[in-house]
Chain A
Amino acid sequence: MQNIYKLILLRKKQIAFVSAAAALLTLIAMPFVVTKIYYIHVLILCMMFSCITSAWNLIAGYAGVFSFGFQALFGTGAYVSALLSIHFGWSPWITMWMGAAAAMAVGALVAIPSLKLKELPYICIATLCMGEIIRLIASNFPELTRGELGLSQIPKLFQDNIKVKSYYLMLVILVVTLMIVVKIVHSPMGMSLKAMRDSQEASESLGINIAGTKIRIYMVGAFIAGFTGAFYAHYMNILTPTSVLGTALMTQYVAMCLIGGIGTIAGPILGSFTITASLELLRKLEDYRLIIYALLIIVTIIFLRDGIWGTFKSLIIARAEKHQNRNIKKETIV
């Protein structure tokens, strides 16, 4: 028994790498196993939310900026890319990058003022308000964005409508996102993020440039979200302010991230897949669908406060450390 835990502690990185590779291979193989296009669509949504939640996890879980206006970045990427490709006729493959850049700019606009706020609820509500303002702007200029009427006829990415191509594109986006996340977390910036998360004052005294780091992280997260949003626009071909800029989206990614386990790398992905899949599979329950969904969330968070993955991780590590201590004790006694 002790050997397993020793193994886990020592070979954390290898285990993580192998499991990630296994998951990736499963996802690559999925379209060959799954025949119904509907399931491919659900998987695309799962992956999309994984990107959004991973980006938000960077900002909130690692940098500690709990932005509840994050959906505005997703929506900005979507709308900018869609509008540019509709009005100027440029290819979606180009406008996606421009959408992401626009999201980055908006992200900077949002991040800079919110740096003044110190306490968690202030940041949450202020960013929520900023997000809502952006949604209202999109909604109230129907000549430009068609508002709630819906911006439709957005040029598609793949002219032949084969969903599987979009699936693989989304998979690529997800893999790249995760690579970025892992790189940041394991970089010196990641170290300073962990320090900031634990104590802002202490890390300030160590000379870490809090404001600069936060803004940089925010812009990375914004870029990812914006790019994903642009993908969404050209995949669904219809946008409304409520669906890509609204608080319902916020509820989803916050729930997914927290249920999965915030502050971890695998947590948001696990949460995204679990929640998206359950929402779709619960359709059989008709009226009771959302009630069961809500109960699942409540029960999960009461018993697993750090989220599924977070609790799992801390359980294993706690067990491993306990055994390690026991071994040390044994060694010292003998």
Chain B
Amino acid sequence: MNLSYWIEMIMSGVVTGTCYAMIGAGLSLIWGTLKMVNLAHGEYYMLGSYFLWTLLTVGNMPLIPAIIISIVGVVIFAAAVHFAAIRPLLRKPGWNMSPWILTLGLQILLQNLALKIWGELYRNVPYFWNTVFKPWNMFTMSGQRIIILTSTAVIIIALMTVIKKTRLGRAIIATSQDGEYAMMMGINIKQIYFITYTISAGLAAVAGILLCPVYSVNPWMGATVQTKGLVVCILGGLGNIEGAIIAGILMGIVESIAVSAIGSEWRDAIAYIFLLGVLYMKPSGLFGKKKGV
């Protein structure tokens, strides 16, 4: 087990991890502000990939415009869903079980709509950058994986900047800490809900677009991503976006090591045991705050 083996393993983990991080960050955003779980989040990931595939093959568009239009398309779709379904349910801030069922229904609906529209065959999107690099001859890094890494890094940094430095970001933080108080302070909560929901959907779509050349496009691709995203969210601490990001990357690395050490069939089990172990020692997640009093 030489050095390049370890580096390769960590790098694989980091690449998958950054995508978990993006999905987890999006979910954490929604959880934090809307106080709701979005079980249809994986479906925005799936739609992003399908829109890209459709624009590239049927629409014959060049890559960059196709990516931009796909992201915009998913965001618009998410906005529509927000107005049609989510808004009516968000009468009062606070936890409620009905969004679980609503988004569950949405998940089934979107999966089967995708099946109806695009068919059951797995679709292929070619790599964006068809080269392979061998840095210092230590490990291999395909162009696609480099794009994934850099894009997610850029987006995550941008997200954190918006959250921490802008007025919008502060409004989001305020709403997630205490919705009623934020309302009293004059923040338009409904607008914040809308914005966080659409940003989150956009993040999922970007993750879908980046990953679809590696994983193929099919109607059920969102489901596994969804579960991992939820796990990452909790691991990082509810509502804590940086926590979700770090947790995502950590999870990716843990899974990579698990596959090498034990075997592929236990990969998910190891990830879950890791989460349970962390929760046992720190019930509010790695970076979560303790509740109340």
Q: How far is the CA of A140 from the CA of B105 in the complex (A)?
A: 30
Cβ–Cβ contact A122 & B283, under 8 A:
yes
Q: Check: B104 CB closer than 8 A to any chain A CB.
A: yes
Contact of A113 among B98, B268, B269, B276 (CB under 8 A): B276
B279 at the interface (CB under 8 A from A): yes
Known: A294-B112, A302-B102. A120 touches B95 (CB 8 A): yes
Contacts of A136 in B (CB 8 A): 265-266, 268-269
Measured in the bound complex, the distance between the Cα atoms of B231 and A122 in whole Å is 9
Q: Is the CB of A297 within 8 A of B101?
A: yes
Q: Answer yes or no: B291 CB below 8 A from chain A CBs.
A: yes
- Asked whether, in the complex, the Cβ of A129 is within 8 Å of the Cβ of B275, the reply is yes
Is A258 an interface residue, CB under 8 A from the partner?
A: yes
Instruction: Contacts A118-B291, A121-B37, A294-B106 given; indicate if A301 touches B101 (C-beta within 8 A).
Output: yes
A113 touches B280 (CB 8 A): yes
By the criterion CB–CB under 8 Å, are B283 and A117 in contact? yes
User: Which residues of chain B in 270-293 are interfacial with respect to chain A, using CB atoms and an 8 Å cutoff?
Assistant: 272-273, 275-276, 279-280, 283-285, 291
* A291 at the binding interface (Cβ < 8 Å): yes
Q: B109 interface residue, CB < 8 Å from A?
A: yes
Interface of B is mostly: helix
Which residue of A has the minimal Cβ distance to B110?
A: A294
Q: Which residues of B contact A258 (CB under 8 A)?
A: 97-98, 100-101
Residues of B close to A287: CB separation below 8 A: 116
- Choose among B97, B113, B265, B283 the residue that contacts A140 (Cβ–Cβ < 8 A): B265
List, in ascending order, chain B residues with CB within 8 A of A305's CB: 89, 96, 98
| Residues of B close to A122: CB separation below 8 A | 234, 238, 279, 283-285
Contact present for B231 and A290 (CB under 8 Å): no
**Assembly CA distance A129 to B230 (angstroms):** 10
Across the interface, which residues of B come within 8 angstroms of A259, CB to CB? 101
Q: Which interface class (under 10, 10 to 19, 20 to 34, 35 or more) fits A?
A: 35 or more
Complex-state Cα separation, A113 to B266, whole angstroms? 22
Q: For chain B residues 108-136, which have a beta carbon within 8 Å of chain A?
A: 108-109, 111-113, 116
CB of A302 within 8 A of CB of B85, answer: yes
A125 with B85: in contact, given A118-B291, A254-B100 (CB under 8 Å)? no
Q: Which residues of B contact A301 (CB under 8 A)?
A: 89, 98, 101-102, 105
Q: Mark A274-312, 1 if CB is under 8 A from B, else 0.
A: 000000000000011011011101100110010000000
CB <8 Å contact, B108 and A132: no
Could you say which of B105, B116, B269 has the most chain A C-beta atoms within 10 Å of its C-beta? B105
Interface residues of B in 225-252 (CB under 8 A from A): 227, 230-231, 233-234, 238
Chain A hits for B265, CB < 8 A: 136, 139-140
> Among the listed A116, A125, A132, A302, which residue makes an inter-chain contact with B268, where contact means beta carbons less than 8 Å apart?
A132
Per the bound structure, the CA–CA distance linking A124 and B99 in Å amounts to 14
B89 contact set on A, CB distance < 8 A? 301-302, 305
A247 to B233, CA, bound (A): 19
Known: A118-B291, A122-B284, A305-B96. 17 other contacts (CB 8 A): A116-B279, A116-B280, A120-B95, A121-B233, A132-B268, A136-B265, A136-B269, A140-B265, A254-B101, A290-B112, A294-B109, A297-B102, A298-B102, A298-B109, A301-B101, A302-B88, A302-B89
Q: List 23 A-B contacts (CB under 8 A).
A: A116-B283, A118-B291, A121-B37, A122-B284, A125-B230, A125-B275, A126-B275, A126-B276, A129-B276, A130-B272, A132-B269, A133-B272, A136-B266, A140-B269, A254-B100, A254-B104, A287-B116, A288-B116, A294-B107, A295-B105, A298-B85, A298-B106, A305-B96
Chain B residues close to A by CB (< 8 Å): 31, 37, 85, 88-89, 95-98, 100-102, 104-109, 111-113, 116, 227, 230-231, 233-234, 238, 265-266, 268-269, 272-273, 275-276, 279-280, 283-285, 291
